[in-house]
Amino acid sequence: MAVTNESRPEEFILLGFADRPWLELPLFVILLITYSTAMMGNITIILVSKLDPHLHSPMYFFLTNLSFLDMCYTTSIVPQMLFNLGSSKKTISYLGCAVQLYFFHMMGGTECLLLALMSLDRYMAICKPLHYTLIMNQRICVLLVSIVWLSGMTYPVSEATITLQLPLCGLNKLDHLVCEIPVLIKIACGEKSANGLTLFVVCIFILALPLCLILASYACIGHAMLKIKSSEGRKKAFGTCFSHLIVVLLFYGPGISMYLQSPSSITRDQPKFMALFYGVETPTLNPFIYTLRIKDVKGALGNLVRKIFTYR
């Protein structure tokens, strides 16, 4: 570890895969392609949901928010990753690290809550179809999404602020690609068990409880789907629910394996691969999962493409 006389370094060195330089160029190319794909895919979902009148429903309102959130999520880390991978200088200023810490965790916490809200929407649509349009009206949807975004902001404001107060004794090397809370806790000096416990408790509320809500919603949905007599109705319900479940598994799986364990037990390369997975790959795959699985989205996308070529 590089040690300076200050407890708070002016910058951090993000080691990434510096010990395996042969990985940097392929990873740079993959990240550049993936990031571009994520931007285009999520922008397409937003445009299709806004332009097609058939998709002006609560489900697609939440999906639009998810796409916008994913764009912000990847943008909070990927440009810095690309800069470091394409340069011999692999540093980030202390202020830049703090900003990245806040935004990355704000987007991650908000996505956890938004995915739980989307499962609640699917529960209302399938289990309470007669009351769905009355309960999930536009005002309620905007209110629920606003609560999710505001709640997502409280997580980094609390946990990231506490983490940034930890004494680092001048240690400025992070064996990671981004600034992330468990990694900063791991390099901190002095007593930090309380921070690890606080992180665990906060993640119970931001990860475990929303996941329990999702699982409970889908248990009720599965029971309700068995009562649907129409095979077409079951197929449509299964399509929307299955897409959401895939997204939940892709996001929550790595997140739980990273955050619901002691920072001291995290292996060396685990944070790097987990950050690439839930911070880059999942937001990239989300538009394709919904596009391929939901018939309405595929139809709306096809109509939009035809209109563009017809206009030309």
Domain positions in the chain are 11-311
Helix and strand numbers (H, E) in the chain are 13, 3
Check if the beta carbon of residue 129 is closer than 8 Å to that of residue 58: no
Structure tokens at 228: 């649907």
Strand runs labelled E in the chain? 11-14, 91-93, 173-174
Three-class secondary structure of residue 154 per DSSP: helix
Strand runs labelled E in 97-243? 173-174
- State the pLDDT at residue 161: 85
pLDDT tens, residue by residue, 133-154: 888 999 999 999 999 999 888 8
What are the residues whose beta carbons fall under 8 Å from the beta carbon of 45, sequence distance 6 or more?
A: 63, 64, 67, 287, 290, 291, 297
As a whole number, the mean pLDDT across the chain is: 83
Q: What is the pTM of this model?
A: 0.86
CATH topology for 11-311 is: Rhopdopsin 7-helix transmembrane proteins (1.20.1070)
- State the pLDDT at residue 1: 44
What is the three-state SS of 282-297?
A: HHHHHHHHHHHHCHHH
Three-class secondary structure of residue 95 per DSSP: helix
- State the pLDDT at residue 288: 82
Instruction: Give me the phi and psi of 235, to 5 degrees please.
Output: -65, -45
Which residues of the chain are modeled with pLDDT < 50? 1-5
- State the pLDDT at residue 3: 43
Spacing of C-alpha 231 from chain mean position? 33
Check if the beta carbon of residue 41 is closer than 8 Å to that of residue 288: yes
